[in-house]
Homo-oligomer: A and B are copies of this chain.
Amino acid sequence: MGYPNVNTLWAETLAEELAAGGVDAVCLSPGSRSTPLTVAFAEHPEIRTFSHLDERSAAFFALGRARRTGKPTPLVCTSGTAAANFHPAVIEADQSGVPMLLLTADRPPELTDSGANQTVDQEKLYGDAVRWYRDMPEPEAEPRKVRMLRTTAARSLAAATGSTPGPVHLNCRFRKPLEPTPVPDDDPEGVPDDWADGDRSAAEGRDGPFVRTEQGRPELPADEVVRVARAVEAADRGLLVAGPADDGLAPEALEKLAAATGFPVLADPLSDLRFGPHVDRLDAPVCGGYDAYLGSDAVASWADPDVVLRFGASPTSKPLRHSLRDSDCRQFVVDPAGGWTEAEFTASDLLVADPNATASALAERVTARGEASWRRRFAAAERAHWNAVEDALAPGERYWEGGVLADAARLAPDPTTLFVSNSMPVRDLDRFGRPRTANLTVLGNRGASGIDGITSTALGAGSATDDPLVLVTGDLAYYHDMNGLLALGRCGVDATIVLVNNDGGGIFGILPIAEHDTFESQFRTPHGLDFGPTGDLYGLEFRRVGDRAAFEEAFEKSVDSAGTQVIEIQFDSGESHDRREELTERSRRAIATR
């Protein structure tokens, strides 16, 4: 029948159905119990394999790839603590709605809680963080079970990519022999030939996967669109707020909505709307400086908005979130996943609907635009802010961490995948990354906002396209996922890694704890690590630069060349913090006095 034993039948069938369902890559970590899955994926002609030695990095790599592609990259690991190493990335995938498929190998049921080697309780290992969980039955060459397996493969992909995308966990139990060793008793007599030889789809008139899934997108009924459109066109001062989203509002839909409403667009750097050709085409300002001026005295005289249309998750910018909180107005949150990601509890209407269909439908219905002076006000504030940032980057001015983000966004080739770490890089990009027309796909892990797995997530995203990959990270994140650098050579990813090194937790300098005795030893926690040796360790070029000119030169050279370059630039976190505040103050003054 072509299958030496039931484990092979089972694993090959699973791989085949996943491939038919669109899976084109898988992350494998070496181990014994997962042998059937590893062999099946490695031998599948249409599935690319990425081999990772550290399962934590593997899971973040798969997360990053899925962020960039919208499709899950299944993860395979052996039994035991290996599976628990996936957990941090599972939580990030849950929180940010990224598809993920976890295939954890496990011992057969008779060894559960028996003290057998590498046997732990993997049932519901990730708790409520997964969309769907199955403890898979034992492999068996029985027609109904094989149909179940094929259906489960389709269902797991559907659950991972459905209306609320996220992780799915299949716990896969295998009994020895795990290798494709002939087991005469396993001869899958009961399974029809046309399933076993791969022709079963055609034979049964199926088209590709055993179960083809089409996921409908929620759309508002027409009368509801009218109701929202009435509220929108009645407003003089509206805002379109685009928060972080991997697959959020598309530029085309935004263009239509901006044209119809004339509302300024506040584009989070992770919204995928701060950068792109639409920036110049839009019939309203695309704002990226709001983190510096909203909520400040500079705009204290501005009236509140009277309607807000929000897309994506809660914005990265705290001033923006607080400004929305303090605006006593109608706030529509459009979220196809119905996620209620609304930490300030300011939404008045939740629209569980496709953002693009909703924006387009609204654009057709809205018949009056908001005040031109409101638009102009934002446009002028933006001009003042970006001029202030540009001045701060002039020769002779002191360079600071935010300047690195400003430059990375400015110098990144068109197109680029730009990944920014928590905790400061994403905030600095938010404040200092000027909107431009280049196609920058900006990604970050803002679901749970951890500093773990940053490098691996970036490299996973980079593995998905031929676009140049730029990662801007801090020293703590760089240290935390140093193991992730192994994927550069092993998984064939090239990157430009900008390492903003302030020797510890720079972010704590902006928190009140900076005033206390334990700050240095327990919060800023300087590590004093010289990361130079990571160059030799992982076969990358490690270059330390001291000023802006050297950074620019190294950056431009790196994005133009093959291989991976780490460009380290060191800052004193206290000075950088002061400079950030100083420039924000300059920007506010410019806005107030324009």
A495-523 at interface with B (beta carbon < 8 Å): 504-505, 507-508, 511-513, 515-518, 521-523
CB contacts (< 8 Å) of A341 on chain B: these are 114-115
Given known A95-B120, A513-B35, contact A53–B482 (CB-CB < 8 A): no
* Chain B nearest CB, measured from A361 CB (Å): 25
Interface residues of A in 295-335 (CB under 8 A from B): 313-314
Among A81-89, A274-282, A557-565, A583-591, the stretch in contact with B: A81-89
Q: Are A521 and B91 in contact (CB under 8 A)?
A: no
- Give the A interface residue count (CB, 8 A): 92
Of residues 52 through 99 on chain A, the ones whose CB sits less than 8 Å from some CB of chain B are: 53-56, 80-82, 84-85, 87-88, 90-92, 94-95
Copies in the complex: 2
Inter-subunit contact A114/B340 (CB<8 Å)? yes
With A53-B527, A449-B117 as contacts: A30 and B522 at CB distance below 8 Å = yes
Q: Which residue of B lies closest to A475 (CB)?
A: B53
A380 within 8 A of B: no
Contact A482 B480 (CB under 8 A): no
Measured CA separation A433–B536 after assembly (Å): 35
**Cβ of A30 and Cβ of B179 under 8 Å apart?**
no
Are the C-beta atoms of A180 and B115 separated by less than 8 Å?
no
Q: Which of A38-46, A202-210, A395-403 has 4 or more CB atoms under 8 Å from chain B? A: A38-46
- A115 CB contact (under 8 Å) in B32, B114, B343, B486: B343
Q: Which 7 A-B pairs have the closest CB atoms?
A: A115-B341, A116-B343, A81-B450, A533-B533, A84-B87, A81-B88, A533-B536
> 10 A-B contacts, Cβ less than 8 Å apart?
A49-B521, A53-B525, A53-B527, A56-B85, A84-B88, A95-B120, A115-B341, A120-B448, A179-B516, A533-B535
**Chain A residues in contact with chain B, CB under 8 A?**
28, 30, 32, 35, 38-39, 42-43, 49, 51, 53-56, 80-82, 84-85, 87-88, 90-92, 94-95, 111, 113-121, 124-125, 127-129, 177-181, 313-314, 339-343, 345, 448-450, 452-453, 476, 479-480, 482-483, 486, 490, 504-505, 507-508, 511-513, 515-518, 521-525, 527, 529-537
